Chains A and B, each alone.
Chain A
């Protein structure tokens, strides 16, 4: 099992090291009143490298936050484009786990979720496309996003990059053959 922040050892080493580190953001960080949580994700592939129709299985742990302050957790597996164009975005897996008690006082949670320690797991079969791509003006990224909604109304998202496929970096004016 490999952590998302581990360096990738293939030709994309520099990019992997930069991108597989956690990218986190808080939508209310302009007036933070509490410490940001730390979310770590463990992937089932050592080098976070997958191919189409592979099984992606992850386990996440949310730390530095009290479980009673969390209202909901959203787990998703998404791809998005980066580069010169407007961002396009696709969701292949999405699940919202409401940790708040409902009006009737009941909580319905998947077995893989532990709300006391804020840990969870998910598993999906990845699609055949689009593959991760590092182009010149178009880039395609895959990631697992864990988004935490606090009772205060604030939310926090942690993004963990992985690679689908093994397409080499595009280089400007490269001639093949």
Chain B
């Protein structure tokens, strides 16, 4: 008898292995995370959060007298035998509990310890011997006394976040494993699909046409000459936004660094290392401003592109009028208007999520050469477009897409080539479409 394999192995169209073992392994992994989260949560609550909560809610406040002060040293030894010290102010308080005089050193929070002895000594100077101070003692152990109350928000955040994340991740994974246990992928998809319809809205898709993206955003802008004006997806605009963000953030850092260096120089404490570090930062900052300005000038010089269409969504085999309008003062060596079909696949490679795009169909609607715009008038051209009768419809699922788009590619005379994309939605053939034009 062969032992079961603990991993999947693809052999042609078959997969060998045991999904049950896989689910079991996943379940154990998530159960360990879940239990670890619970244990860490309980420990953090019991060790940190609860004592702080008790100080603020259960400790009894009295007026006490400061009768002694000193410095407490905490020694932390590392594995190599070295020692690290921290100091905190220690205060001896005398206070009255039900007629009894109690003397006790105060308890302080770990955040009040200091690695530098001088800082702790300096803090100690703020306390005056013989002075009356407000203190709070533990009714369960009257010798435990504190001189300060309040909450450390970061500690509570840590207490909630770290175990909370582990518990959430573990519980989600555990539920997923339980959901998959003994169920086929079809059964899971059928049940999960129903769940998704109940609790969450799925990907926006056209009513009655599963997996075809909704085109509401593509038909809400009327055109000047034709029925609809298509929205644009311009890579140049994203480059401009990216360059602007990078330049802004980088130069904020440069300015902060420069101000610090400036104060040092004025105070006669010029730090050569800091000056040396500032120089390349300034060079990159200036270069990023130059890049941003060039990009901005390029976008404004080439001018906006508008595309209008006579019907939408599109239907295979139908004819449509397309109006191209290119504003701006730039002259072009050539302008090309394409209809393209692009496939898009998203997949995991190691820990990265990658998206690959591939143009599988390309139809040149029209090419214009040596375009010289008239002053104050955009370049305009109206063209006829016929969609292939057996064209694939637009498709969109979680990791895969098949998208149709009109693309303008231009080569200006004094600028680099540019591309502007206008997505369109194509429905299957032989389906009545309300906004499309007939043949």
Chain A residues in the interface with B (C-beta under 8 A):
23-25, 27-31, 51-52, 74, 76, 78, 81, 83-91, 94, 96, 127-131, 133, 135-138, 140, 145, 147, 153, 155, 157, 165-168, 170-177
Contact = CB atoms under 8 A, between A and B. Distances in A.
Interface in B255-297: none
Given A137-B358, A170-B392, A172-B360, A86 B343 contact: no
A147 B388 CA distance: 39
A96 B358 CA distance: 39
Contacts of A23: 13-14
A30 B428 contact: no
A91 B15 contact: no
A18 B218 CA distance: 40
Interface of B: 1-5, 13-20, 184-187, 189-190, 193, 208-212, 341, 343-348, 356, 358, 360-364, 388, 390-393, 395, 397-402, 428, 430-431
A55 B229 CA distance: 39
Most buried by A among B193, B208, B397: B397
Residue in A51, A81, A155 whose Cβ sees the most chain B Cβ within 10 Å: A81
B361 A174 contact: yes
B184 A74 contact: yes
A129 B190 contact: no
A88 B398 contact: yes
Given A81-B397, A129-B393, A138-B345, 11 more contacts: A27-B17, A30-B16, A78-B189, A85-B346, A85-B400, A88-B398, A91-B190, A94-B190, A130-B395, A137-B356, A170-B360
Contacts of B193: 90-91
Nearest to A173: B362
Contact of A74 (B187, B364, B397, B398): B187
A88 B4 contact: no
B399 A87 contact: yes
Contacts of B341: 170
Contacts of B398: 86, 88
B211 A86 contact: no
